Amino acid sequence: MRAATAGLLLVSILLCTVPARAAIVVSIAEVADRDARFLVQTKSNHALIHGSQMKDIDERFLRPGETARITVLALNPLTFSFVYSVIYHPAYRYDSQQVKTMPSLIRTVRMPEFEPRAWRDFIDAGEPVLYGGKGTHLGHVVDHFRLFLKEYLPAIDAAGGGDDLRQYIPLFEDIIRHARQTVPQTMQVKAIQGLPDQQLQDRLQAIERHALSQFRELEDDLAEIKTLLSVSAQERIRLRTLQAKCVDARSVYHELMDAHDRQQIEAFLDFQYENHHARPDKTRQWLSDDGQIRYAITLGDHYTLRDRDHQPLYDSCYRTGLGVDLHGGKPTLLKDTQKTVTAGFCRSERGEWLIQLPRR
């Protein structure tokens, strides 16, 4: 009996999540710019039957010389693999640290201290950006720009701004220029593996195409950074809020569109239904009431939705494409401002058009 009780107790302990007092300590060493605000993201990795899963633990800003004690609210000891932190600042190369020890009530996990290195020092020292392999390579540069757009800039805006991020544009331009000058010097070394001449030539051409595509991506990212930094933080937040509502047809129709926009869809579908033999125009476009968003609906196939007894549920159904242009159809260098989602609309016996959305 005691053995069974002890076993149940042990299982209960293993299945319990980590107590709230468990903690991870993250620190950043001193650097020349003591006012630099580093974005610190801490996450945990958990093993799954197929692959693994990352879970967010904490996100905050730290300045050089500061230490953060991060409370861990819940980790599953049965699936835990490791915890890690990554730091980012526009003027420094991003870095990450990983520890395989799980935080617990009696064990505080301390990440190795981060020692950021400035991109300017890297460039001035003449160190090359490699095509691949160990060291700073082209993928790191691509990630640096992507992290600025997807992580650092949104976090700065959400924290209330305060930093003139436009000051880093010349550095970003220098990073790309330095990479363009040094990456080609390492591409042939990467390719020479004792291959026959033709295979070697094919390999070099593939490397060149890949490098060119990454440089195009960097130039596009830089153009987007310049565009975003030319508007206010409030405008950037507004744009991100709209982008979050363009995930699928459900969010576009119910969250992004208003009653006026839905009326446009219903009028278009009524016209199609009443004039389906006259080959009417299959697309309609309009602007939102505030003129900020351009919408479009394009008619697709006609179909029948039936019940379990194979009887039609609705009078008529159409597949459609709902287009969204968050920039109102005006030219822009911003990405992710255009989206097309698929939705079905069915006409009820009362003449109402009901949207048919895929199940989540």
Q: What is the pLDDT of residues 307-357, one digit of tens each?
A: 888 888 888 899 999 999 998 877 777 888 899 999 999 998 888 999 987
- Per-residue model confidence (pLDDT) at position 114: 96
200 sits in which H/E element: helix 197-229
**Of 119, 146, 145, 152, nearest in space to 41 by CA:** 152
Q: How deeply is 24 buried, as exposed, middle or buried, from its count of CB atoms within 10 A (0-12, 13-18, 19+)? A: buried
CATH number at 15-117: 2.60.40
C-alpha radius of gyration, the chain, whole number: 27
pLDDT at 190: 53
pLDDT value at position 19?
47
Burial annotation 103-131 (CB, 10 A radius, 16+ → b, else e)? bbeeebbbbeebebebbeebbeeeebbbb
Strand-pairing partners, residue 286, are: 295
User: Domain map of the chain by residue range?
Assistant: 15-117, 124-230, 248-356
Write down the pLDDT at residue 18: 47
What is the 8-class DSSP label of residue 263?
A: H
Residue 143: count of CB within 10 angstroms of its CB: 14
- Helices 197-229 and 169-191 pack at an angle, to 10 degrees, of 170
**Are 346 and 314 spatial neighbours (Cβ–Cβ below 8 Å)?**
yes
For the chain, list residues with pLDDT below 50. 8-20
Are residues 153 and 228 in contact, defined by beta-carbon separation less than 8 angstroms? Answer: yes
Cα gap 220→225, rounded to integer Å: 9
Query: What percent of the chain clears pLDDT 70, i.e. is strictly above it?
Result: 89
